[in-house]
Structure 1
Amino acid sequence: MANVTRRLIIPDSVRIHRYQSLPELAPSVLFFSGGSALNKISRELKRYTHHSIHMVTPFDSGGSSAKLRQAFNMPAVGDLRSRIMALADETVLGQPDVFELFRYRLCDDASPAQLAQELAQLADGSHVLMQPVVAPMKALIKTQLVRLCKHLPEDFDLRGASVGNLIIAGGYLGHQQLLDPIVFLFSRLVKTLGQVTTIVDDTHHLGVRLQSGDVILGQHLITGKEHAPLAQPISEIWLNQGLEEERPVSAYLPEDRRHSIEQADLICYPPGSFFTSLMANLLVSGVAQAVILNPNPKIYLPNLGVDPEQLGWTLMARIEYMLVKLLGSPTVNLHTPVLNWVLLDQDYDYGELDMATLAKWGVSVVKTPLIKDKPERYDECLVAEALLSFA
């Protein structure tokens, strides 16, 4: 086997121009993520490649997804739906009527009777958003919503419900409680310019132990967004069976996900809630082995600003935790890498990094402009071009 090396230029204008010209032939970039932090970058990424792969967590327990999880004991679909929408073809070549339907939410302040009536109008096709949708897509969507209505508990709270989530839930119920078939259909309906999937098709939840020893069960109690931020740093995270008691459980990477990870031209650990979005994906058995077998670049792009989950966690500590979870020891990464590069903005203060220790772990740091404006947030174009310069 021969090793081929090249000079790394970031951003690489030649590569970027090539990918923009032919995004259908551009490299595949795989992200382990969840939540909405990556959605803006994903929307920009469509201009460069139609082969991004997004593995999102189905373990969330908050927002409108929580109501569907409680009603049907199903995986969370909110992050899945929002990422599909971020990658949807929004041009005239796409399906703008379907796109608008899937992103629509029912009112927060309507009465239960009004909400039930609106859902019924969506299901029978008379709703104003359903009328422009043409056959056979209209029939497919109606089928999912009719099925959902038949199974929906009488006391189900429809306030603020995402129509896209409801359609996915109806499809889930109609495909033997499997997400993949309806996700494939959903993606085709909005002409997704990339691939979105859950890391596993399981109904598990997340559990964390704090430094105080206290156990918190449920993503919605961990993120610091729907409830008060944690008062103590997280010391450990695991997959849990249910939300009632500490019951660690294993999940196993499906064969098609394993193949996608092994074959991707680039793997990125992207911004997002560190524990509930990024690490939650890496808890699945088989992920580490698949990443190891991929010889292509593996990059960590850390968060900016304040992530309540990162209380007490420096960037160095987060890098070490990732490597320990995936490899058992960070030094193993030198010869069996699951992380090659940490990609940073050249001016942002991420905290102190121990370059000598990173070198011992086989991790290099690349700094380049990634931020344009205040308040400081990643510029989607700069991030997309920086990432694709590695591929």
Structure 2
Amino acid sequence: MTGPAVVALGGGHGLAASLEALKLVCDDITAVVTVADNGGSSGRLRDEFEILPPGDLRMALTALCDDTEWGHTWRDVLQHRFRGEGPLGGHALGNLLIAALWDLHHDPVAGLDLVGRLLNARGRVLPMAAVPLEITAQIAGTDPGDPERVDTVRGQVAVASTRGQVRSIALEPADPPSAPDTIDAVREADWVILGPGSWFTSVMPHLMVPALRDALHDTSAKRLLTLNLEHSGETAGFSCARQVDALADHAPRLRLDVVLADPGAVDDEAQLREAAARLGAEVVVAAIAQRGAPGHHDSLRLAAAYRDIFG
């Protein structure tokens, strides 16, 4: 297999879905992963050892594992989560392994590359920034008695689970350093993919890291935005067009080439095409959801859509 050099940006299950599809299309894959998670095992390790939160990085690595018995075995080992209420309870083994490698090598990228070798991963996984990030958001509607009030909410978990509607986000620190390998991968790619994933806590933060945002603006790569399959969670009540506009509001210089959407998620295709056109993009509507499970991506269908778009 050959194919284009692709960089996929995001975090969590959305990025994993994209990576599992990309493995069927091309060999040169780089995942650039958000480092703002502050909950669960990742949040505990981040606070205790002052390291990048490893969970989303682990999930991306396991999504890229070699499709062999060896790759699947180590994928399952890294994904194994300890039970119980003791010190290990709730920790994923892969998070602990990544934390140990960072402690030994003092280089996040080198540690992630070593885990990739263990998995025979079909690509690299790199952090969005070289330091842990905190997401803050301006959110309206958290108080039903005062729907116009806007509150500041801090932390990825709090923003992702808010009952209100996110107006804008920011990062702390506002100008975090990026790993050189991350910037080089974006600049040298043939295609860059944003999404799918939690819009304000997994997708959009990449546009808030100055060096990464500049690389996204300046790269000669084509840019593809994959929309989510459902309007829920952070974007409950958002139309497809509003999701696209939210990215443009936070990164005014951003240009796109393609916006990919599943027909079941398109509420107003004309509005979506207008929003995409404002960023220079065409809209491709293709079935990428699992049959009978509309909220989950079908890796084969998503791979077929990517293959057709890449040409």
Deviation of 1:184 after TM superposition, in Å, equals 1.1
The residue that corresponds to 1:205 in the other structure is 134
Task: Choose the corresponding residue for 1:307, options 202, 214, 232.
Answer: 232
Task: Choose the corresponding residue for 1:381, options 294, 300, 306.
Answer: 300
Task: Choose the corresponding residue for 1:50, options 1, 18, 27.
Answer: 27
Matches within 5 A, 1:276-355: 276-327=201-252, 338-351=255-268, 353-354=270-271, 355=273
In structure 2, what residue type is equivalent to 1:219?
Answer: Q
**Separation in structure 1 between the aligned mates of residue 56 and residue 100 of structure 2, nearest angstrom:** 17
**Separation in structure 2 between the aligned mates of residue 358 and residue 386 of structure 1, nearest angstrom:** 18
Mark the runs of 5 or more structure 1 residues left unpaired by the alignment.
1-21, 113-156, 225-229, 242-248
Number of residue-to-residue matches in the alignment: 300
The residue that corresponds to 2:104 in the other structure is 174
**Separation in structure 1 between the aligned mates of residue 116 and residue 308 of structure 2, nearest angstrom:** 27
The residue that corresponds to 1:263 in the other structure is 188
The residue that corresponds to 1:129 in the other structure is none
The residue that corresponds to 1:235 in the other structure is 167
Alpha-carbon distance change, 108 to 259 in structure 1, aligned in 2, over 3 angstroms:
same
Supply the RMSD in Å over aligned alpha carbons: 2.1
Mark the runs of 5 or more structure 2 residues left unpaired by the alignment.
141-148
Cα pair 1:273 1:307 within 8 Å, conserved: no
SS of the residue 1:362 aligns to: coil
Deviation of 1:50 after TM superposition, in Å, equals 2.2
Once structures 1 and 2 are overlaid, which stretch shifts more, 210-219 or 273-282? Answer: 210-219
Deviation of 1:357 after TM superposition, in Å, equals 5.3
* Deviation per residue, 1:193-247 (Å, 9 max, x gap): 11111111202211111133211111111112xxxxx232111111125xxxxxx
**Separation in structure 2 between the aligned mates of residue 276 and residue 232 of structure 1, nearest angstrom:** 15
Whether 1:66 and 2:3 are equivalent positions in the alignment is no
More strand as a share of residues: 2
SS of the residue 1:37 aligns to: helix
Deviation of 1:369 after TM superposition, in Å, equals 2.6
Deviation of 1:59 after TM superposition, in Å, equals 0.9
Deviation of 1:54 after TM superposition, in Å, equals 0.8
Task: Choose the corresponding residue for 1:102, options 57, 62, 78.
Answer: 78
**Separation in structure 1 between the aligned mates of residue 72 and residue 269 of structure 2, nearest angstrom:** 46
Larger relative contact order (CA 8 Å, sep ≥ 6): 1
> Normalized against structure 1, the TM-score is what?
0.71
The residue that corresponds to 1:245 in the other structure is none
Q: Compare CA radii of gyration and give the structure with the larger one.
A: 1
Alpha-carbon distance change, 262 to 313 in structure 1, aligned in 2, over 3 angstroms:
same
Deviation of 1:72 after TM superposition, in Å, equals 0.8
Identity fraction in percent: 24
Deviation of 1:388 after TM superposition, in Å, equals 2.4
The residue that corresponds to 1:142 in the other structure is none
Alpha-carbon distance change, 97 to 322 in structure 1, aligned in 2, over 3 angstroms:
closer
> Normalized against structure 2, the TM-score is what?
0.88
